[in-house]
Structure 1
Amino acid sequence: MDIIKVDAIASTNTFLRDLNREKHLIDPVCVLAAEQLAGKGQMGTVWQSNPGENLTCSVFMPITGLNLIDQFYISISTSLAIFDMLNHLMVPKLSIKWPNDILSDRFKICGVLIENIVKNGRLTGVIIGIGININQMSFENLPQAGSLKQILGKSFNIEEVLYVLLNNIEKRFSELHGTDFNRLKEEYERCLFRKNKPSTFIDVEGNSFVGIIQSITNQGKLQVLLEDEVVADYELKEIKLLY
């Protein structure tokens, strides 16, 4: 995979989006930034990262033969690729907090922002923004954030971590060309944070309630067992897990 290295950039996702618009990318490309000036997380949040201490990158992956209705499998493959990489580094107590945050115990060490590229109603590619906390030792006003150095007690070479990550991304995305989506979904569900445990959620009106994460739908909705034995399906913006 081609890797483009930059010192400081507003957003690696925006950089790749513009590059694709200009060159119509057909092969995987990664852009690695030492510093992102306007990195974004899910739902417009800002990704906090000290310059040169963390892995901030975006990856363009071509997509062929995947229907729009199955687009959540891109998120599944991405989450599992990062999970595989962190498992390779011996990071303990890994889990995936739906839809694609990666935790070690209760500390968030990785965030993902996925932008699908659709042309004439078909998925043609995806831009995956990835932020992994590597060597940063403190996170202002983010008590749930953690880094590999904090957890494992040693520093890491960021580019070496990147190479392992990219290999895992290419491996996982090669699985999207098959049809065994059930296996991918089951593997993802086994990694879900708080699965089968009573947990507190908050809905869009700000009401809190207790439920138990059961699974996800094929479209990526979270299925939660409620107190009245009803399983409800939730979109990302409809529910927040408190932990």
Structure 2
Amino acid sequence: MQIIKLDATQSTNTYLKNLSFERALEDFTVITTKNQTSGRGQLNAVWESEPGKNLAFSVLKKNIDIPIQRVFLVSVCVSLAIVESLKDFGIPNLSIKWPNDILSGNYKIGGILIENIISGSTIKRSIIGFGLNVNQKSFKNAPHASSLKMITGTDYDLDEVFYSLVEHLHQNLIRPFQLREKELYTQYHTHLFKKGQTSIFKLPNDEQITGTIEKVSIDGKLVVKLVNGDFKEFGLKEIQLLY
């Protein structure tokens, strides 16, 4: 494992991806900064972060070697590692909001962005980015955002939180994914936000529907039971949970 600390960078994912093209990097190379100036999330969402208050880091995981159809398994593995790490700090009511958010109660405290390098029909390696709100005390344009400090009232040592997250990720990612697929999805569904609860969703045409989250499928789609009893699968851009 190699850890590279930067004073500031626009995006740890972009920095690590470019670095991996420039030279050979060892498995589980980590880029981290306490000042990510242009952080982004899934579907190019902007990540609001106050310099020196939060964590942003990216991990290069090589030798993934899973079929493209199983790509969401990487996200499952990463999400569970993060939840287990945050439990060690006493963060309450942790859950995973599909597809890539970490919540405490109804508030988002972290987000995952995974970019995969594909060869043929196989995921060969992944750049796994994670941003965590740690000591920031307010968010101007994100009503559902919070931080560890806002939730617990505690100031956290950023390095202590960082090394805990990295260690949990390392331990979860070095073990073969596919051999643990059933176990990982079972754990994931235990932490899935709003699973089994009637919720309102918005579709791309702004239509709102009511349904219940049943599970996430093996190929990463959200399975919702509609009020008429039908089950329907939705991809990343096809549905938004309103809460």
* Partner Cα distance (2:117, 2:207) in 1: 35
**8 A Cα contact 1:53 1:134, kept in partner:** yes
Question: Mapping of 1:64-213 within 5 angstroms?
Answer: 64-213=64-213
Amino acid in structure 2 at the alignment position of 1:231? F
| C-alpha contact (below 8 Å) 1:56/1:132 kept by paired residues | yes
Counterpart in the other structure of 2:233: 233
**3-state SS of the aligned residue for 1:39?**
coil
Equivalent-residue separation in structure 2 for 1:182 and 1:222 (angstroms): 17
Show structure 2 runs of 5+ residues with no match: none
Report what 1:27 is aligned to.
27
Tell me if structure 1 keeps the 8 A contact 2:73–2:177. no
Matched, 1:11 2:8: no
Measured in 2, the distance between the counterparts of 1:113 and 1:241 equals 18
Taking the TM superposition and a 5 Å limit, the aligned residue runs for 1:26-65 are: 26-65=26-65
Range moving further from structure 2, 142-151 or 117-126:
117-126
Q: CA contact under 8 A between 1:134 and 1:156: conserved in structure 2?
A: yes
Are the counterparts in 2 of residues 65 and 177 from structure 1 also a CA contact under 8 Å?
Answer: no
Q: Give every structure 1 segment of 4 or more consecutive aligned residues whose post-TM-superposition deviation is greater than 6 Å.
A: none
TM-score with structure 2 setting the length:
0.97
1:178–1:222 distance in 2 versus 1, CA, 3 Å = closer
TM-score (norm 1): 0.97
Residues 219/126 of structure 1: CA separation in 2 closer, same or farther (3 Å cut)? same
**Residues 66, 176 of structure 1: 8 Å contact kept:** no
| Contact 2:42-2:100 within 8 A present in 1 as well | no
Residue by residue, what CA displacement relative to the aligned partner does 1:111-145 show, whole Å, maximum 9, x if unpaired? 11110111344322111111100000000021110
- When residues 222 and 177 of structure 1 are mapped into structure 2, their CA distance, relative to the original with a 3 A threshold, is closer
Deviations 1:51-76 (A, max 9, x none): 01001111111133322221110000
How many residues are treated as equivalent by the alignment? 243
Classify the secondary structure of the residue corresponding to 1:126: strand
| Runs (5+) with no aligned partner, structure 1 | none
Q: Distance in 1 between matches of 2:89 and 2:100?
A: 19
SS in structure 2 at match of 1:179? helix
Q: 2:223 matched to which residue of 1?
A: 223
Structure-2 separation of matches of 1:201 and 1:132: 26
Distance 1:68 1:79 in 2: 19
What is the DSSP-based 3-state SS (H/G/I as helix, E as strand, rest coil) of the residue aligned with 2:35? strand
In 1, Cα distance between equivalents of 2:176 and 2:204: 33
Q: Please report the RMSD computed on the Cα atoms of aligned residues, expressed in angstroms.
A: 1.2
Give the percent of matched residue pairs that are identical in Structure 1 and Structure 2. Answer: 40
Cα contact 1:95–1:102 (8 A) shared by 2: yes
